[in-house]
Amino acid sequence: MPSLPTFSYDHPDVDRLIRFALEEDLRTVGDLTCRALVPSTARLHATLTAKEAGVVCGLDLFRRVARVLGSNLAVSQELRDGERVTPGTVVWQGDGDATAILILERTSLNLVQRLSGTASKTRRFVDAVAGCRAAIYDTRKTTPGLRLLQKHAVVAGGGRNHRIGLYDQVLIKENHIALMPRGPHDSSPAEAVRRARECLGNDTIIEVEIESLTDLVPCLRASANIVLCDNMTPAQLREAVAIRDRTPEGRSCALEASGGITLSTVRAYADTGIERISVGALTHSAPCLDLSLRCTLA
């Protein structure tokens, strides 16, 4: 199957997000407090410390926010995305213009804490299924504007990306099937796969959601790349794996579980032999990692 694009902090979506976030803070006026109190020549040394255990992600955003402000930071320490930290770990240090650091502090922390929270939650899920075939995947349940960064955070935590958007992969759900024009064949999930393949060709990843195992073999024979078994029990998923494995057309098709899977239940799903477990909570419900930024005169 085609691979997803490689993430880069240089992506234009990242700069657009930073500019929007700074505009929320500054509008056309700027930082009134710094204007009134901070000398233009003042410089600060900033230290970012973890206050809880987790996985860090997004630290390069401090430098990139500064760049959008037209300033430069001299970074003296920066952990890599995906590194584990414990309380008291110094994860980032930098020096720069005092006004720029005071302006970028909140925007940078808002992003870094949220991304680190997603990476940390993902790592807990990944650790819970260690030794199994199943990988942990995210979903499109991301904060608007933050998708690329949040999906990068999932990878930093050891997870994998589902489709990035509506443009890079087909995911056929019940509403698509219900709205599909009637034709000479039935209006089943398998027929939806057949039509999508005919329209989009062999290079497009096609995933289809099923709610009954009776739809599995027809979807395999229709050349689905991934079959999403929605809200099925572990027992049903074991049966799905057995059906897929004895169906010649199914050997290249991955099975995915989704629907209410939690940290306490994910191992039971992974033990069924499926290849993919998608968890929306990685991005829509991850708490921010508690990080503290302290500044001293440079």
Any idea which residues carry the catalytic annotation? 106, 141, 173, 209, 230
Instruction: Give 82's DSSP letter.
Output: T
The rounded Cα 180 to chain-centroid distance in angstroms is 30
- Backbone angle region of 36, left / alpha / beta, with phi > 0 → left and psi within -120 to 50 → alpha: alpha
Write out the DSSP string of 180-200: SPP-SS--SHHHHHHHHHHHH
Q: Are 280 and 266 in contact (CB under 8 A)?
A: no
Contacts 24+ apart (CB under 8 A), 67-75: 68/15, 68/18, 68/19, 68/22, 69/22, 69/100, 69/103, 69/104, 71/96, 71/97, 71/100, 71/104, 72/96, 73/100, 73/101
Q: In what order do the strands lie in the sheet with 276-278?
A: 135-137, 276-278, 254-258, 226-230, 206-210, 170-172
- Length of the chain equals 298
